[in-house]
Chain A
Amino acid sequence: MRKIWACLALVLGTACHAAPQTPFAFGVLNHRSLQATAAYWNPILNYVSARSGVPLELHIGRTANETTDRVVAGQLDFAYTNHLFTPKRDRLGWRVLARQDSEGIRGQVVVLDSSPVRTLQELAGKTVAFANPYGFTGYYVPMDDLLRAGIEVAPLFCGNQEAAMGQLLSGEAAAAGVNHQVMASFAQRRQMKYRVLAESEPYFDLAVMASPRVSPADGEKVRQAFVGMSREPEGQRVLRLAAQSLELTKARGFVAADDRDYRNYRSFFSQTRVPVNE
Chain B
Amino acid sequence: MPFEELPHQADVRVRVTAGSCDGLFAEAARAMFAVMYVTCGRGELERSLSVNAPDMPGLLVDFLSELLFISEVERVVFSSFRVEVTGTSLEAVACGEPFSPEKHRGGMEIKGVSYSGLRIFRDGELFCSEILFDV
Q: Do A and B come together as binding partners? A: no
- Residue ranges of A at the interface with B (Cβ–Cβ < 8 Å): none
